[in-house]
Amino acid sequence: MSAYSLRGLNWFNALAANAAEVSGLPASVKAADGTLGDRPARFLAVVADPDNRFPRAQNGEVGLLEGWGLAQAVDGAIELDQDSDHKRALIAIIDVPSQAYGRREEALGIHQALAGAVDAYARARLAGHPVIGLLVGKAMSGAFLAHGYQANRLIALRDPGVMVHAMGKASAARVTLRSVEELEKLAASVPPMAYDIDSYASLGLLWETLSVSQIEQPTASDLTLVQDCLIAAIKDTLAGGNDLSSRLGAPNRAASSKVRELLRAQW
Amino acid sequence: MTDSTRLLRQHSFVELGARQRARALLDDGSFRELIDPFERLVSPWLAKQGVVPQADDGVVIAKGTIEGKPVVICAIEGGFQGGSMGEVGGAKMAGALELAAEDNRKGIPTAAVLLLETGGVRLQEANLGLAAIADIHAAIVDLRRYQPVIGVVAGSVGCFGGMSIAAALCSYLVVTQEARLGLNGPQVIEQEAGIEEYDSRDRPFIWSLTGGEQRFASGLVDAFVADDINAIQQQVHALLHKGKPAQERSSRYAWFLERLSQVDTARQIEPAAVRSAYEGDRT
């Protein structure tokens, strides 16, 4: 068992098996051009680089190089397809334990680096690239905002290791002045505070959830299942708009719709 | 001018609440609040956890004009739950920016000013706060294609978490000496990385890395102004006049990657090293 997750890398290798790897990126940012069904697609992942020059970003965290590197990988696709009517899909494979926490990161503006990634993904979506996020592991906080949360559609695999949250449990307990036990108790009755994927799904933010047989290292049938779902998500995206409105509508996110309704009426 | 007359003429912006700040920046008499506190649209999640909600959920949305031009101001109340973004407050900001972009598509040139005092996601509403912040990011990138989106971090809360990414997406950023801007709050870095890496009680150390003056000297913000209503007003007017930048800071990955490749990461970093790494950024 390695100190860091290999899920993102394994799913990247499986989905991009026959794809051409994009060169010139930081070692922790993987990108490759392949196909999904009959459509071109660029697969993207942030993976652990134990030799990362930034010591606080060696376990797959999204740090300075990863934020700006994702920006480069995504913007490259926008430029390549600038004059094309068939923009390649962007598939963000998400297994990111956190953003990088460190002195170098804050000093050199990690917030700006993560904004670089958000900027590129959002521009790609607005330019007409279908952007799909595939959650295969952790999708935490700033790391998820930078890699995946700008997607038109989000798909999550059902597994206890797939989780979305704003902060790790120990830090969240410290900041809210609670014990970890109290935090867990509250999370059980307040869906947006929970760490599990079913509670997250109840917020309406996921387009689909899938069960696979081997999440760490996908089998051939796991791969086919996920590819079919990605193809369907791309099709659904192309039939809709290029904003994030498809995430609204769940009863557990009713206030988000109510606010928009009132704003429009009073605008 | 002597120091005392200067002080008497100065009116602090930092000491104003969110509503007063929005009013101070808009043309006289043009302030109109949307979903005001009398609507009582409160957080559906706080009371369940024994936290008293606030009638505006800590976010003020005001429409009005600046020098006659249509503007929407989204102002965060740093005094309520640390300016944290919950479902309602987050949706107010995202929804307002979405409507401003829609205005532009209909030929109405609405610009936006964001007054950011926030620790980021409200942890009591964790995943709904995070989702709202993703919506805010999306809306900023959409709107700034048409009009400048100006972020102001005056202090004293500063701007952290996912909202620091929102700040970094703005067309322009204005800060004061009181401001701090960074992704991770000091306590969380200390919790995750240890006190050797980041001492959350060492305030001079924290300001030297993430304070407004350092961010300006490093080219990570566009303007450094005194904590004075007039000074901030004038700066916002000047940036609105300037229109959209040729290229947004958040789109400059090639430049930043090149600069980061020059940084010596074998030893711990000092504020001066950041300034010299990003030197020459100001255009």
pLDDT tens digits, residue range A16-59?
999 999 999 999 999 999 999 999 999 999 999 999 999 999 99
CB–CB of A243 and B168 under 8 A?
Answer: no
* CB < 8 Å to B260, chain A: 64-65, 68, 108
Structure tokens, B218: 């490093």
CA A15 to chain centre: 16
- Residues A170-183: what's their mean pLDDT? 84
Tell me the nearest-neighbour CA distance from B188 into chain A, angstroms. Answer: 6
What residues pair up with B59 in beta bridges, in sequence order? B76
- Tell me which chain B residues have a C-beta less than 8 angstroms from the C-beta of A263: 34-35, 61, 92, 95-96, 99
Q: Is the predicted pLDDT of residue A256 greater than 70, yes or no?
A: yes
> What was the pLDDT predicted at A174?
81
What is the DSSP code string of chain B? Answer: --HHHHHHH---STTS-HHHHHHHHSPTT--EEES-GGG----SSSGGGT----TTTTEEEEEEEETTEEEEEEEE-TTSGGG-B-HHHHHHHHHHHHHHHHHHHTT---EEEEE--B-SB-GGGHHHHHHHHHHHHHHHHHHTTTS-EEEEE-SSS-B-THHHHHHHHSSEEEE-TT-BB-SS-HHHHHHHH-TTT--TT-HHHHHHHHBHHHHHHTTSSSEE--S-HHHHHHHHHHHHHH-S-SS-GGG-HHHHHHHHHTS--SS---HHHHHHHTTT---
Rounded to a whole number of angstroms, the distance from the CA of B41 to the nearest CA of chain A is 8
Contacts of A108 in chain B (CB under 8 A): 260, 263, 269, 274, 277
Amino acid B283: pLDDT:
43
Q: What are phi and psi of B16, to 5 degrees?
A: -80, 150
A156: region left, alpha or beta (phi > 0 left; psi from -120 to 50 alpha): beta
Tell me which residue in A54, A115, A175 faces B165 most closely, judged by beta carbons.
A115
Give the best residue of A29, A53, A114, A118 to mutate against chain B (max B CB count within 10 A).
Answer: A118
Which ranges of A63-140 would DSSP assign to H, the alpha helix? 64-80, 103-107, 110-127
Residues of chain A with C-beta less than 8 angstroms from the C-beta of B92: 259, 263
Instruction: Inform me whether the C-beta atom of residue A144 falls under 8 Å from chain B C-beta atoms.
Output: yes
Q: Residue A167 has what pLDDT?
A: 82
Does the distance separating the beta carbons of B145 and A172 come in below 8 Å?
no
pTM of the predicted structure, to 2 decimals:
0.97
Count Cα atoms within 13 angstroms, Cβ side, for B119.
Answer: 22
HSE (CB half, 13 Å, CA atoms) of B159?
31
3-state secondary structure of A204: coil
A145 contacts B134? CB cut-off 8 A: yes
Res. A69: pLDDT tops 80: yes
pLDDT at B215: 98
Closest-CA distance of chain A to residue B37, Å: 13
A176 or A11: whose pLDDT is higher? A11
Contacts of A168 in chain B (CB under 8 A): 192
Q: Which of A115, A190, A255 sits opposite B250 (nearest CB)?
A: A115
Per the document, the length of chain B is 283
Least Cα separation, residue B154 to chain A (angstroms):
18
SS3 A33: strand
Rg over CA atoms, chain A: 18
Would you say A161 and A7 are in contact if contact means Cβ atoms under 8 Å apart? Answer: yes
Distance (Å, whole) CA A123 – CA A25: 20
Nearest by CB to B220, from A109, A174, A190: name it. A109
Give the pair of three-digit tokens for residue A242: 């290029």
pLDDT at B280: 61
Tell me which residue in B166, B250, B263 faces A116 most closely, judged by beta carbons: B250
pLDDT class of A169 with cuts at 50, 70, 90? confident
Residues linked to residue A155 through DSSP beta bridges, in sequence order: A134, A208
The answer, yes or no, to whether residue A188 has pLDDT greater than 90, is no
Check CB contact of B49 with chain A, cutoff 8 Å. yes
Give mean pLDDT in consecutive 10-residue pieces for chain B, a chain of 283 residues: 74 97 98 97 94 97 98 97 97 98 98 97 95 98 98 96 98 98 94 93 96 97 97 97 96 98 95 91 48
H/E stretch holding A194: none
The predicted structure's pLDDT at residue A186: 84
What is the model's pLDDT at position B1?
A: 59
Sign, Cα dihedral of A195, A200, A205, A206: positive
How far is it, in rounded angstroms, from Cα A89 to Cα A10?
A: 20
Amino acid B6: pLDDT: 72
What was the pLDDT predicted at A62?
A: 98
